[in-house]
């Protein structure tokens, strides 16, 4: 494999560590809970933790899919932990988070794709933290759309997020096992059942797409009533992952944001370090992020 390309200046990480970050990290250790923020060495950790935002991955750490951009292990998944919803909610309450993103691996092995487990986590968290905002970042539930949507819309989050990740032309290569139309339909299907809950999707750029293709995807998202969008630079987790095709410039990210607003997205986060959950609290309030 070729060497990983040097990152441009605008991708250098701002680490910073505040008392709040330290406090949250201590609580995580106390509850023996791993956050995606730490596991993925997310460049935004300092900012997110100090805003009371964190992301947790539920249903184990082994995925039934194998996407070449993703660092999550692949294989036979762990059995679901029936205590996880309660344990997660207890930890979130103790941390005093204001905004939590609950995400998961794909569980193609489960009859409902894990929808009930996700809903249980949302319910338990709401019961313990009445003022927290909850975002679920869900898998595509391929082959199980109706049952999953029925369950998930019965215990809705504040924001329903499902990432398209990339443009349809690159799906076979970048999201094997997924289907572009299916993912759009999942987002539209949730909105149809819960019109007052915001829907959200995200794209990573720099995997071989063109800017025009990105704009086409934005149009498709709006045609499926998606309210919020995140666009960020793909970074290769290791040499054995999908290579970075290009570094999109900050000016191009600004251009995407402009177009997204014109297309009618109510919440737009577009920038090199933007991640699906980056400043999710501010995104949800509609403030400019990126």
Under the rule (CB under 6 A), what is the footprint of ligand SF4? Answer: 36-37, 42, 44-45, 48, 53-55, 63, 65-67, 70, 72, 101, 105-106, 275, 277-278
User: Would you say 48 and 278 are in contact if contact means Cβ atoms under 8 Å apart?
Assistant: yes
Residue with smaller CB distance to ligand SF4, 42 or 115: 42
- The candidate with the shortest Cα–Cα distance to 91, out of 61, 124, 114, 118, is 124
How is residue 22 written in tokens? 């330290």
Nearest approach in angstroms of CB 289 to ligand SF4 is 10
Nearest approach in angstroms of CB 63 to ligand SF4 is 3
Residue with smaller CB distance to ligand SF4, 36 or 231: 36
Residue with smaller CB distance to ligand SF4, 98 or 222: 98
Nearest approach in angstroms of CB 69 to ligand SF4 is 7
How is residue 104 written in tokens? 């998961």
Sheet holding 198-205, edge to edge: 53-58, 99-104, 133-137, 159-161, 198-205, 228-233, 267-270
User: Would you say 226 and 200 are in contact if contact means Cβ atoms under 8 Å apart?
Assistant: yes
Q: What are phi and psi of 98, to 5 degrees?
A: -100, -25
Nearest approach in angstroms of CB 280 to ligand SF4 is 6
SS3 label, residue 74:
strand
The single-letter DSSP state of residue 187 is: H
Residue with smaller CB distance to ligand SF4, 39 or 94: 39
User: Would you say 202 and 217 are in contact if contact means Cβ atoms under 8 Å apart?
Assistant: no
Residue with smaller CB distance to ligand SF4, 215 or 243: 243
What angle separates helix 211-223 from helix 180-193, to the nearest 10 degrees? Answer: 30
Q: Which residues of 171-194 are buried (b: 16+ CB within 10 A; e: fewer)?
A: beebbeebebeebbbbbbbbbeeb
Nearest approach in angstroms of CB 54 to ligand SF4 is 5
Nearest approach in angstroms of CB 262 to ligand SF4 is 26
Nearest approach in angstroms of CB 279 to ligand SF4 is 7
Residue with smaller CB distance to ligand SF4, 198 or 275: 275
d(CA 245, CA 12) in angstroms, rounded, equals: 18
Residue with smaller CB distance to ligand SF4, 63 or 88: 63
């Amino acid at each position: 494999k070729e060497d990983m390309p040097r990152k441009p200046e605008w991708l250098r990480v701002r680490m910073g560590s505040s008392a709040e970050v330290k406090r949250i990290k201590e609580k995580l250790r106390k509850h023996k809970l791993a956050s995606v923020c730490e596991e993925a060495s997310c460049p935004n950790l300092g900012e997110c933790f100090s805003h009371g935002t964190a992301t947790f991955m539920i249903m184990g750490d082994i995925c039934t899919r194998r996407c070449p951009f993703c660092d999550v292990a692949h294989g036979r998944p762990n059995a679901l932990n029936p205590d996880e919803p309660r344990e997660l909610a207890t930890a979130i309450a103790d941390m005093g988070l204001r905004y939590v993103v609950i995400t998961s691996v794909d569980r193609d092995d489960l009859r409902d794709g894990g929808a009930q487990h996700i809903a249980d986590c949302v319910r338990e968290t709401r019961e313990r933290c009445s003022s927290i905002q909850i975002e679920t970042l869900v898998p595509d539930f391929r082959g199980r759309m109706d049952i999953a949507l029925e369950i998930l819309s019965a215990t809705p989050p504040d924001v329903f997020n499902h990432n398209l990740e990339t443009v349809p032309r690159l799906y076979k290569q970048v999201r094997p096992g997924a289907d572009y139309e299916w993912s759009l339909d999942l987002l539209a299907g949730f909105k149809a059942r819960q019109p007052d809950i915001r829907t959200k999707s995200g794209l990573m750029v720099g995997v071989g797409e063109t800017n025009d293709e990105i704009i086409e995807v934005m149009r498709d998202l709006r045609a499926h009533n998606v309210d919020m969008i995140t666009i960020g630079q793909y970074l290769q987790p290791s040499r054995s992952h999908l290579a970075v095709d290009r570094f999109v410039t900050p000016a191009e990210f600004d251009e995407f944001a402009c177009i997204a607003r014109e297309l009618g997205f109510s919440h737009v986060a577009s920038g090199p370090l933007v991640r699906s959950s980056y400043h999710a609290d501010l995104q949800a309030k509609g403030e400019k992020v990126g």
